[in-house]
Amino acid sequence: MTATTERAVGSDVRRIDGPAKVRGRAPYAYEHELDAQAVFVALVQSTAARGRVTGIDTSAAEAVPGVLAVLTHENAPRLGDVADEIVVLQSDRVRYVGEPVAAVVAETSEVARDAAARVVVRYDAQPPDVELRTDRDDLYAPEQLMAGFDTDSVIGDVDAALAAAPVSIDVTYETPNQHNNPIEMHATVARWDGDGDAAVLRMWDANQGPHNLVPVITEAFGITEDRLHITSPYVGGAFGSKAYTHVHQLIAGMAAKVTGRTVKLELTRQQMFTLVGHRTPTIQRLRLGAQPDGTLTAISHEVVEHTSQNAEFAEQTATATRLMYAAPARRTTHRLARLDVPAPTIMRAPGETPGMYALESAMDELAAELGIDPVELRLRNEPDRDPERDVPWSTRNLVACLRQGAERFGWAGRDPRPGVRTDGRWLVGTGVAAATYPTRRRPSAARIEAVPGKPYVVSIDASDIGTGAWTALTQIAADALRVPMDQVDLRIGDSRLPKASGAGGSTGITSWGPAIIAAAEQLADREVPAGGVTVTGESGPGEEAERYSSHAFGAHFAEVRVDQDSGEVRVPRMTGVFAVGRVVNATTGRSQFLGGMTMGLSMALHEESVLDLARGHYANHDLAEYHIAANADVGEMDISWVDETDDRHNPLGAKGIGEIGIVGAAAAIGNAYWHATGRRVRDLPITPDKWFR
């Protein structure tokens, strides 16, 4: 093959999977095995939030023609020792509204749903406890937060510093339950191939990395890894909800084992509000102390959030506060309430999304109290080193993001007074907020097969959840091999491929890319014989994780208009400038920033899952009542990034971009709302009714 000196990384390459998707040739999970005479599963879900099943009558369901089986805790296959939050159909215990208590398997999906409605379940139900409050006497500190962060952090005498501060604020912000709603519902197609101890569980599944599921599913069914094969080449969005194993995957495997058939199970949109996690609600108290010139002297960020009875999930909500701004006295704490709710899970930029909303809103309030421009306040508190870990930054270009963003947005000359600018009946305001997200590398391996005269086959169990990984990894491989992109045959989304980390935490490209580069480096040292050669490369976190503090940064600017008659809120324009290392692909990169900013707008103005305190269920569990931003809600989006490369962190110099677009976006909009109206809304979302309270 002829080597090329042209670089694919950094070029504006269109998605290589695009043509297959628009032609319907990129199957999602539920579309696999169309000719397999599949049978279908419908779930029966608990109407009780807490208690026990005292009886199940399945006779009417079993009498429906076409029904093959009705699984309950009395007859379902026994599972191995799996995490408590996904134990399903194993006991009579009920832990949240919507927990599966039976599953009907039938020849058609229509028959399965009809029969499921005929199952009669009796409960010994207890009143649900689902209300998050700061005055609960059962709040507790978890041993650690998600991703291994310390639960609390304290530097200096925070209370004394706050008491001595010439200027201080003490404010509380609340974010609601929010639900991941990717366009593709969670779905699993399952079949057991072979008999007895040799049977292989074959699964086509919507997930964020097949290897993520392997440990749990093999343990659940008592099989070895070579007896499980999971395929997931195309995924229609995830936002964190498809990162882990959920109950529907185990039920699909059970149903396939009981019936001996290929089984299809797709959750309904309503079921996704109970069975695949959510973003925990938060109550966050922010106290900031400062000198009259804006220099921060104390930061205190105390978080209360919920977790479930059957699993502990402790979101790292205040961890971004530990590194954003310099201050000699600092404190962050996290406390949990264990409630009768489904288990929370990760949702785009977990921790940073709610935490930076609160911190950046508080910084805006402090700027108003001090009479200092909010951009200038952030610049005056820029730390030279990570203030928590006392190590240098791999790169930190927040200042550049703020300055470039201010220039692009037209911030100069902004009248700081709130509620004074109008356009007809619309009040007009502008706001700013900073953004950050950690940069990580996770262990991953890649394989390259080289045969003379044929494209290189590059295999890695990466996952493209709509972010553009098919394209970006092909670009990386092409450059590493020094060939054009059409000489790379990429294989991803299969548990039989070399093990890679899942898609999540903005770690995909920073983990998978270096593994491909490592494999290519090995190949460069080998002679390729006529029969071909195969090499494997590995990559993972190194000493850079200890030596440097690595984070992406950004700045959001927003214009908000509020109708004085109706309280309607509009966001005609937003500007986002980001520092994320080398951007592998400008087209897919911009798409990720745009999606994140849009999701932040949706968080600010629309998204809220409302818990019925009496019954313990989410009352608005569909897209008719769980509102998300539509096209008409999104105005002009000016997106750019600074020119930087983070070679200290990984060979690509990239930082990951999937999460940071949402971080801080809601705060910028909330701050602009205050500037437009003179009113602070400290509990999201900013719905029209809050104009009148």
Nearest partner of 70 among 62, 79, 78, 80, judged by Cα: 62
Tell me the pLDDT band of 397, cut-offs 50, 70 and 90.
Answer: very high
146-179+278-439+547-691 and 441-540 in the same fold: yes
Domain-wise residue ranges, the chain: 32-127+182-238+242-275, 146-179+278-439+547-691, 441-540
Q: How far apart are CA 227 and CA 63, in angstroms?
A: 35
Architecture of the domain spanning 32-127+182-238+242-275: Alpha-Beta Complex (3.90)
Inform me whether the pLDDT recorded for 34 exceeds 90.
no
Q: Residue 120: which pLDDT band, with cuts at 50, 70 and 90?
A: very high
> pLDDT, tens digit, for every residue of 126-142?
999 999 999 999 999 99
Q: How much is the average pLDDT of 178-190?
A: 97
Q: For the chain, give the percent of residues with pLDDT over 90.
A: 95
Task: Tell me the per-residue pLDDT of 69-97, one tens digit each, with 9 for 90 and over.
Answer: 999 999 999 999 998 889 999 999 999 99
Can you give the three-state secondary structure of 69-91, one letter per residue?
EEEECCCCCCCCCCCHHHCCCCC
- Per-residue DSSP letters for 427-496? EEEEEEEEEEEE-----EEEEEEE-TTS-EEEE-----SSSSHHHHHHHHHHHHHTS-GGGEEEE-SBTT
Residue 4 has pLDDT above 80, yes or no: no
Angle (CA) 299-301-305 rounded to 5° is 175
Domain 441-540: CATH class, spelled out: alpha beta
pLDDT-derived band at 2, boundaries 50, 70, 90: low
pLDDT of 240 > 90? The answer is yes
Is the pLDDT assigned to residue 6 strictly greater than 80?
no
Q: Tell me how far CA of residue 205 lies from CA of 186, 460, 495, 504, in angstroms.
A: 8, 17, 11, 17
Going by C-alpha positions, the residue among 60, 50, 53 that lies closest to residue 117 is: 60
CB 396 within 8 A of CB 386: no
Cα angle value 336/342/348 (rounded, 5°): 75
Q: What is the pLDDT of residue 5?
A: 65
pTM over 0.85: yes
- Spatial separation of the C-alpha atoms in residues 22 and 658, rounded to whole Å: 23
Active-site amino acid positions: 659
DSSP assigned state of 158: H
C-alpha span between 472 and 279 (Å, rounded): 29
Q: What pLDDT, in 10s, does the model give residues 368-386? A: 999 999 999 999 999 999 9
> Which tens digits make up the pLDDT trace of 286-302?
999 999 999 999 999 99
Helix, coil or strand: residue 612: coil
What pLDDT digit, counting tens, does each position of 349-368 carry? Answer: 999 999 999 999 999 999 99
Q: Which tens digits make up the pLDDT trace of 415-474?
A: 999 999 999 999 999 999 999 999 999 999 999 999 999 999 999 999 999 999 999 999
Read off the pLDDT of each residue in 568-595 and give the average, rounded to a whole number.
97
Model pLDDT, residue 542: 87
Amino acid at residue number 323: L
Find, among 138, 87, 668, the residue nearest to 435 by Cα. 668
User: With the C-alpha atoms ordered 393, 153, 382, 303, is the resulting torsion angle positive or negative?
Assistant: positive
What's the whole-number average pLDDT of the chain? Answer: 96
In 645-692, DSSP assigns E strands to none
pLDDT of residue 156: 97
CATH code: domain 146-179+278-439+547-691 is: 3.30.365.10
pLDDT at residue 103 greater than cutoff 90: yes
pLDDT at 36: 82
**Residue 33 — very low, low, confident or very high, per pLDDT cuts 50/70/90?**
confident
